[in-house]
Copies of this chain bind each other. A is one copy, B any other.
Amino acid sequence: MKASTRFSDSIHILAFINIYQGNLPLTSNNIAASIGTSPVMVRRLMSQLRKAGLLNTVHGAAEPTLAKKPADISLYDVYLAAEDGAPLFTIDRKTNPQCIVGGNIQETLGEVYHEAEVAAEARLSRTSLQDIIDSIQVKQAKKNAR
């Protein structure tokens, strides 16, 4: 399938809101222009972030605010909101149950895939939105210094 950028775009939205708060109208249009996507996609993602308790929005007004401090939002929180916790590896569900391999491999792979996913998720949990914002600002400062 076409690979989803919902996770990356959702982090982008949250970082944008934090960085440009008070300096720019935080409309879905302005945010979309920074991401390079459509305002509708931005509003859809913001809707999911709001439902996940990461963002506050006001219907009709361009005043989104983070629902938590950036240090208290992990990338895993954002992943859960944006991709609905989609698994990183895909089990083939069409295997033949009459066959020793086909009849057991789904459960076997499910166990291993889960452990690999937990390892990745643990790493995402250790990085906060604040870390991302800091990294963006440092990279920008280096550009400005040149």
Q: List 11 A-B contacts (CB under 8 A).
A: A1-B2, A1-B4, A7-B89, A11-B105, A16-B101, A33-B99, A36-B92, A36-B102, A100-B140, A112-B123, A116-B123
Q: Which residue of B lies closest to A96 (CB)?
A: B34
The docked-state distance in angstroms from the alpha carbon of A128 to that of B139 is 40
Answer yes or no: A40 CB below 8 A from chain B CBs: no
Answer yes or no: A94 CB below 8 A from chain B CBs: yes
Other than the given A1-B3, A12-B105, 11 more pairs (CB < 8 A) read A3-B90, A7-B90, A8-B89, A19-B101, A36-B102, A103-B140, A104-B135, A108-B132, A108-B136, A117-B120, A119-B122
Say yes or no: A8 contacts B91, CB within 8 Å. yes
Copies of this chain present = 2
Interface of A is mostly: helix
Indicate the member of A90, A99, A102, A127 with the most B CB atoms within 10 Å.
Answer: A99
Q: Which residues of B contact A8 (CB under 8 A)?
A: 89-92, 105, 109
